[in-house]
Structure 1
């Protein structure tokens, strides 16, 4: 993940670690042939408890910069949200939908870490980055812990 001097972007990168684990959990559930309803319930939990707030924060604070990279990130969010809504509502509940969601999110995180965040760090002055952090008033650092009780992604011994 990005090794930036900006503590706010570092925190967003820490959130991305949680989200990459979420992707691995979905992928493991699919590989282990876990019931799709169990995986769907986990997806709903993770969206409601963490990912929705993460997306909202990025969109409010970082992605309103109107550059092409920020616009792509917002478009990615919309695509991922649409896929999540279809899964959670039961409209898409097949193995390939779950795998596609994990792939979309993984690709998005990689884009933010490898392209968006470095461009922000390189393209914005320290004062501009500080202004971004100040603009996030009302947002508290993520203290989310994935304590979902059904650890379906851990193979039974």
Structure 2
């Protein structure tokens, strides 16, 4: 399905988010030390994901469906909590939980939130979202120097 052009920047971010999940899982499979993966997660959060969540807060009010709003907010809270736990603990299970939660969240947005917006918002409302994204969105960075996943 072709994504509305106004949501494409967020979908591109989602591509990098799925890549982040894959890298974490590869690191776990290769038995990479927790600290190396933890540093990557912190870097990804700081440079990409936290900003992406802030930007989604621009789009969230446009979702006039309470259950979708609640799920999005709950998943954002869960991921933030996992990020904090990863930074404070040493459990490899947390890394896996984070990758799973982020993957699930991205799929939810791509399969539920974006189609909802495309179906229920006018062209003008979608253009307003696109304009807001132009003001706040920054291109994802994928330049982490420690390629532990290879």
Q: Under a length normalisation based on structure 2, what TM-score does the superposition of the two structures give?
A: 0.92
Question: Which residue pairs with 2:115 in the alignment?
Answer: 118
Match of 2:23 among 12, 22, 25: 25
Q: Give the match for residue 73 of structure 1.
A: 72
Structural mapping, 1:4-153, within 5 Å:
4=3, 6-59=4-57, 61-65=58-62, 66-67=64-65, 68-88=67-87, 90-91=88-89, 93-136=90-133, 138-140=135-137, 142-153=138-149
In 2, the alpha carbon distance for the partners of 1:138 and 1:28 equals 35
Offset of 1:95 from its aligned partner? 1.6
- What CA distance in whole angstroms lies between the structure 2 residues aligned with 1:19 and 1:47? 10
If each structure's helix is expressed as a fraction of its own residues, which one has the higher value? 2
The structure whose RCO (Cα within 8 Å, separation 6+) is larger is 2
Change (3 A) 1:137 1:143: closer
Task: Please state whether the residue corresponding to 1:146 is helix, strand or coil.
Answer: coil
Task: Tell me the SS of whatever aligns to 1:22.
Answer: helix
How far is 1:123 from its partner? 1.1
Count of aligned pairs between the two proteins = 148
TM-score normalised according to structure 1 size:
0.88
Question: RMSD in angstroms over aligned alpha carbons?
Answer: 1.5
